[in-house]
Amino acid sequence: MKGAIPVPVILYPGEDGFWVAECPLIPGCVSQGENREAALANIREAIILGLESREEEGWSLPDGYEICEVAVQR
């Protein structure tokens, strides 16, 4: 993909058996699919649509970001 930019996606199994995918950089950008591949294809489409409407909605992607994990006690 020419001009493609990497964006983080969180992928996890949902309670209903579907896979859930979220893009934390885009407000409200969540999708799902029957399997991992479908969830990733659906979130890719949601990200593209989100990026197309960002100026109209008044937000922008951060210039940079860092993906970290934080340990918490249960």
Domain that holds residue 58: 1-74
Predicted local distance difference test score (pLDDT) of residue 55: 84
Q: How confident is the model at residue 1 (pLDDT cuts 50, 70, 90)?
A: low
10-61 pLDDT, tens per residue?
999 999 999 999 999 999 999 999 999 999 999 999 999 999 998 888 889 9
Which CATH number goes with the domain that contains 12? 3.30.160.250
Interatomic CA distance for residues 49 and 51, integer angstroms = 5
Q: How many domains does the chain have?
A: 1
Interatomic CA distance for residues 4 and 59, integer angstroms = 19
pTM of the model: 0.85
54-68 pLDDT, tens per residue?
888 888 999 889 999
Tokens of 21: 């995918």
Predicted local distance difference test score (pLDDT) of residue 2: 67
